[in-house]
Amino acid sequence: MKTLTDPSLPTQPPAELLEALNYCRRPLIIAHLAPDGDAIGSLLALGHMLHRLGKDPILACQDPPPASLRFLPGSDRITNDVRDYAVDQIIAVDSSDPTRMGSIYDPGEHKNLPLLVIDHHVTNVAFGQINWVEPATAATAQMMYDLALALDIEIDTDLATCMLTGMVTDTRGFRTNNTTARVLDIAAALMQAGASLNRIMERTLNSHSFNLIQLWGRALETVEFDRGVIHATNSLVMREGLDGIVRPEGLTSFILGAYEAKAAVVFTELPENKVECSFRARPGQNIAEVAFALGGGGHPLAAGCTISGMLPEIKELVLSRLIEQVLSS
């Protein structure tokens, strides 16, 4: 794992990354599956920048952008079928390991192409030939801002909107402990470049479907507390009649707000006996390690994993690991 850099300074993309970006003609940029605002914001920002450099980037994600992110300029260009494109480079964004690229990365088709990784997860396994990983940054979109500086690309309104969306969503509206003065400086610069902070807040953090509110309600009825860990469950049957909604977005952070809680987890049961676990913790904890040990990853205070097995057993396993972490901290 990487040591953290000074958060008051711009991060520096490695020279070989800049060279590879200048050299490619048609790069395939991949955002992680079940994409969040940082995945989509970074994907689109990098797409706009490479387009500006005269490249023909293909933008891909296994899952479509959620409705709350479709206002982002270029989001209609994101595809989940790249078989017809002859690409010459792969760039994974906001992804800590190769499984996060989901079905877009084709080991047969893509294995001989250069793979570049641009990410800010402390658990990044450096799965590219070139890995630019900055765990001290609040969002991969913040690295995109530094990349624009390094490439001397002028930030227009579209680029600024994509970057600011990634930063706003990954910091939950500048509330996380990686929200440094520099994060706010960059946010101000992006607003000056034309991004509307208010519009981004309204579209992302302040907008939920009625189905999501109902799912929160059902999941909140399951909430329990055990030795510093607060947890809630979102099972398959609880989602019946909610129009295909899967994740109770935002719920893990909300239940962590219980002042007794040091860590929080929400269990989302998926089809085919898989369970997605979303972790949050208060400063002083490190749940990235817990998630990584369970095959996932993330940040010290926000992490996750997806485990195969039955819901009751997985809950028991994950809760025991989290309680152990909280008691030892």
Under DSSP, the state recorded for 68 is G
Q: In 63-154, where do the E strands start and end?
A: 89-93, 115-119, 130-133
- Pairing type for strands 274-281 and 263-270 reads antiparallel
How close are the terminal C-alpha atoms of the chain, in Å? 20
- Residue 296 binds ligand AMP (CB under 6 A): yes
Smallest gap, in angstroms, from Cβ of residue 277 to ligand AMP? 8
| Contact characters 97-126, ligand AMP, x per CB under 6 A | ---x--------------------------
Residue 80 token pair: 């989940």
Smallest gap, in angstroms, from Cβ of residue 261 to Mn ion? 23
Q: What does R_g of the chain's alpha carbons equal in angstroms?
A: 19
Contacting ligand AMP within 236-265 (CB under 6 A): 252
- Residue 141 binds ligand AMP (CB under 6 A): no
8 Å CB contact between 76 and 61: no
| Contact characters 306-325, ligand AMP, x per CB under 6 A | x-------------------
Residue 228: what are its φ and ψ, rounded to 5°?
Answer: 90, -10
- Give me the amino acid identity at 84: D
Interface segment toward ligand AMP; rule CB under 6 A; list 101-109, 110-118, 138-146, 302-310? 302-310
Contacting ligand AMP within 152-181 (CB under 6 A): none
Contact pick of 29, 305, 311, 318 for ligand AMP (by CB under 6 A): 305
Question: Which CA distances in Å does 15 have to 124, 130, 136, 170, 312?
Answer: 20, 10, 20, 27, 48
Contact pick of 11, 278, 285, 325 for ligand AMP (by CB under 6 A): 278
Nearer to ligand AMP, 65 or 296 (CB): 296
Residue 328 token pair: 């030892």
Nearer to Mn ion, 140 or 268 (CB): 140
- Pairing type for strands 58-60 and 302-308 reads unpaired
3 state SS of 10:
coil
Smallest gap, in angstroms, from Cβ of residue 83 to ligand AMP? 25
Residue 251 interacts, among Mn ion, ligand AMP, none and using kind-specific CB cut-offs from 5 to 8 Å, with none
Contact pick of 11, 68, 96, 171 for ligand AMP (by CB under 6 A): 96
Smallest gap, in angstroms, from Cβ of residue 144 to Mn ion? 11
Residue 296 interacts, among Mn ion, ligand AMP, none and using kind-specific CB cut-offs from 5 to 8 Å, with ligand AMP
| Neighbouring residues of 51: CB distance < 8 A, sequence distance ≥ 6 | 57
Q: Which residues contact ligand AMP by CB under 6 A?
A: 96, 100, 252, 278, 296-299, 302-306
